[in-house]
Amino acid sequence: MAIAKLDTGFNIEIDFVITPFHKRFFAWSIDLVLVIAYWWLISILYSFYTQNHPSEKTYWILIIAELPPMFYYLITEVTLNGQTIGKMAMGIQVISLEGGQPSFSQYLIRWIFRIIDFPVFIAVSISYGFLPWWCMGFLFTGIGCILLTPYSQRTGDLVAGTIIIDRKNRLSWEDTVFTELESDYQPHYPQVMQLSDKDLNTLKSIIEMVKKNSNYDLSMRIADRIRSKLNISGDQDSLDFLETLLKDYNYYTNG
């Protein structure tokens, strides 16, 4: 089982389990089936429409209807916090090398580089004789990169600075810092606004990890780092302190 040790931003490393190749393959297969099923359904609907409207020029309808699968991976990973439907089914997720949720630009880079990692156009070109047979080797660029890199990254991951982790072998990565607050809640640490959204995303994940694994040593180390960084003094319990910071952040950002 490959492990990636990533710095959370508080100079504390957390272990992430790298997704094994077979899980990525099954996730990709599920997504491919969904894309093919969509195209198949569109072709049936288009054939039915043209049969009933033979005199209309409807090619533009087909072109527009077939566009969504081209953006499937970008749209799903952005809206589903680093997951496609296939990744959700296999319990895997894209995160940044800093241990947080990737930015839109990172998702975009991963999507753009799919044309290199999974060059379907090469297979089509070879089948029609536009390219020689030995170009078949380029079809395995992404697979080769996954198998040869320490963190199982394809080319798009390397350029974007992302990895794919196995959520089922570790605490589920929290994608939001939203926390319910009491109606009369009063904040304690205004210094929390010096932290970034990425810091707070990491903080919430750490809190859940501490509760799940009773790893209070981790909470004390993180609390000490944050107190030092924000110049906060006090003897509040480390876990309570971290939870208070999270609540304060929500108070100030949503108040």
Same-domain check for residues 32 and 81? yes
Domain that residue 97 falls in? 3-169
In a domain, 179, yes or no: no
Same-domain check for residues 145 and 217? no
In a domain, 180, yes or no: no
Helix (H) or strand (E) holding 5: strand 3-7
pTM of the model: 0.64
Same-domain check for residues 195 and 163? no
- What's the burial of 16, exposed, middle or buried (CB within 10 Å: 0-12/13-18/19+)? buried
In a domain, 64, yes or no: yes
From first to last of its 255 residues, the chain has per-residue pLDDT tens of: 677 666 555 555 566 788 899 999 999 999 999 998 988 888 888 787 777 666 666 667 767 777 788 899 999 999 998 999 999 999 999 988 877 778 899 999 999 998 888 876 666 676 667 767 666 766 778 888 988 998 899 999 999 999 999 876 544 444 444 556 677 788 888 888 888 776 777 787 778 778 877 878 888 888 888 888 888 887 888 888 888 888 888 888 765
Same-domain check for residues 129 and 217? no
In a domain, 232, yes or no: yes
Cα–Cα distance for residue pair 101/173, rounded to 1 Å: 9
Same-domain check for residues 149 and 24? yes
Same-domain check for residues 11 and 97? yes
Same-domain check for residues 141 and 197? no
Same-domain check for residues 125 and 245? no
Same-domain check for residues 132 and 9? yes
CA distances from 200 to 10, 174, 216, 248, 251 (A): 11, 10, 18, 11, 13
In a domain, 34, yes or no: yes
3-state secondary structure of 15: strand
- Check residue 78 and give its pLDDT: 93
Phi, psi of 187 (to 5 degrees): -70, 160
Same-domain check for residues 49 and 128? yes
Same-domain check for residues 86 and 147? yes
Total count of domains within the chain: 2
Helix (H) or strand (E) holding 94: strand 92-96
In a domain, 185, yes or no: no
Kindly give the interhelix angle for 21-52 and 141-148, rounded to the nearest 10 degrees. 160
Name the domain boundary from 120, 136, 169: 169
Same-domain check for residues 164 and 201? no
